[in-house]
Structure 1
């Protein structure tokens, strides 16, 4: 089997690339950039007619499987390339699978837009192009989902678990952390939610993620 992931680390492709690293999967990384028209060529549009990253292509004995959307790519890798026995990031049972699904969808619907606004207007964009008022508004909205996350982590702590879905790091943690990490420039906001902040640091400090971020 041949597994190929199209995208760069500084894009949403980081999510399936992180998952592949956690799972120890041999794969080809095609570092396609989202700028400069690379995702609008006929060749790329044949992979994803939306012209967006990432794209995952899995050559399997039964035929080619192609996946768009970063969370879908990441969940696919865990489900179809993980062991599923509780030894890696893949869900080991229906309950863990449900947690992975709901927290991944939650991250997209409740966190991503505002976390990205914080990242862009607090850190990434040139200072003269930033609009602090947009970041301020985004941070105020993020209070609600961060409170949900904090309360869940508190309940997990009471069960003796320090991760979102189980007593180990799973794809649920990976997917949510990959989004929440964008909000870290909002230091005062993150300080209000110490369990979420500590959990996030444990996620992004994992060797697979550290190595990934060191990729040129």
Structure 2
């Protein structure tokens, strides 16, 4: 049985690599870079990218990450994690149908309520060069996120510091990797102390640290 994860570390593939590390899975990592990061994606020496014909056979949408699990192809990072957790079981996986519903709910919640705003904070407060940052976009994101942060803060308070089940699960990874994008706006975390403590604890986990070290060693 062979699991292949396609994508670069500076992408949503971090979610899948982190979970694979937590589960102790053996996997092959195939670097695939976003096409917009390349000055000339058609150059003879260009690396595999999201519009390379070879990768489009894996994901015709031209997006990373994607996996090939012994011939089973799956795209979308949050769905990949739910699949891997379900397949390999253990305490990180939902224990019953109710938890499966909760894990799916929280993945969709993170994607719809938080991710676009959190990414805008990453880009317009930190990642983009100053001349490309839009203060209005950052301000809109800052205005939108306190409410979902409060929802998550309350859930963590009621759930013993975890998103579901009173224990560390795939739901924490899926939600945590979205919330991480908002870190340039520390005022959000100051107003949601349970979220701050939870994310700090997630980032102290050895499996996350292993993934992050690989990310840091990857070319920006």
Instruction: Give the root-mean-square deviation of aligned CA atoms.
Output: 1.1
Q: Does 1:184 align with 2:183?
A: yes
Q: Name the residue aligned to 2:62.
A: 51
Match of 2:44 in 1: none
SS in 1 for 2:74: strand
How many residue pairs match? The answer is: 204
| Residue 168 (structure 2) aligns with | 169
What is the Cα deviation at residue 66 of structure 1? Answer: 0.5
Distance 2:83 2:167 in 1: 19
Uncovered stretches (5+) of structure 2, i.e. residues with no partner: 42-48
Q: TM-score, normalised by structure 2?
A: 0.89
Deviations 1:183-210 (A, max 9, x none): 0110112211111111111112211011
Q: CA deviation at 1:81?
A: 2.1
Unaligned runs of 5+ in 1: none
Which residue matches 2:46? none
- After TM superposition, the structure 1 = structure 2 runs for residues 13-52 of structure 1, keeping only pairs within 5 Å, are 13-34=13-34, 35-36=37-38, 37=41, 38-52=49-63
2:156 and 2:195 map into 1 onto residues whose CA distance is 7
Aligned positions of 1:28-107 closer than 5 A: 28-34=28-34, 35-36=37-38, 37=41, 38-59=49-70, 64-83=71-90, 86=91, 89-107=92-110
TM-score normalized with structure 1 length: 0.91
Structure 2 counterpart SS, 1:40: coil
Q: CA deviation at 1:92?
A: 1.9
Q: 1:150: Cα distance to partner?
A: 1.2
- Distance in 1 (alpha carbons) for counterparts of 2:62 and 2:88: 26
Aligned residue in 2 for 1:140: 143
Q: Is the 8 A contact 1:122 1:135 kept in 2?
A: yes
d(CA) in 1 for partners of 2:208, 2:96 = 25
**How far is 1:41 from its partner?**
1.4
**CA distance in 2 between partners of 1:144 and 1:168 (Å):** 24
How far apart in 1 are the matches of 2:188 and 2:148? Answer: 12
User: Aligned partners of 1:209, 1:169: CA distance in 2, in Å?
Assistant: 13
Alignment-derived partner of residue 125 in structure 1: 128
Shift of 1:139: 1.0
Asked whether the 8 Å contact 2:115–2:178 carries over to 1, the reply is yes
